[in-house]
Amino acid sequence: MNDLEVWRIKIDEVDLQLVKLLNDRARYATEIGKVKLTLGLDAYSPRREEEVMKHVTTHNAGPLSTQAIRRLFERIIDESRSVERIYMHEQKNPKNK
């Protein structure tokens, strides 16, 4: 096996870990949706999203730039919020499932 193949295998392994972690995050967003429904809150929480951004960017040691981390997490948060909203909508409108 050459160096390129070795590094590609490592990337493939990381990609699978990322898929698992992203799905874990989406499941947690559903659980948060349950709590928000009980509390009468909206799925969108700009203050919390900014807290997440600050947390991940201040813990970024590179080589990805802060801007790159921010862009990635904007997308991750958007998809998590979508999962949360879908769950909340289905709970409010069970006949539309």
18-53 pLDDT, tens digit per residue, is: 999 999 999 999 999 999 999 999 999 999 999 999
Could you list the residue range(s) of the whole structural domain that residue 51 is in? 3-96
Among the listed residues 81, 20, 89, the one whose alpha carbon sits nearest the alpha carbon of residue 52: 81
Model pTM score = 0.87
Q: Which CATH number covers residue 33?
A: 1.20.59.10
Q: 61: Cβ–Cβ under 8 A, 6 or more apart, which residues?
A: none
Q: 36: Cβ–Cβ under 8 A, 6 or more apart, which residues?
A: 42, 43, 84, 88
Number of domains present in the structure of the chain: 1
Looking at residue 1, what is its pLDDT?
Answer: 82
Neighbours of 87 (CB within 10 A): 20
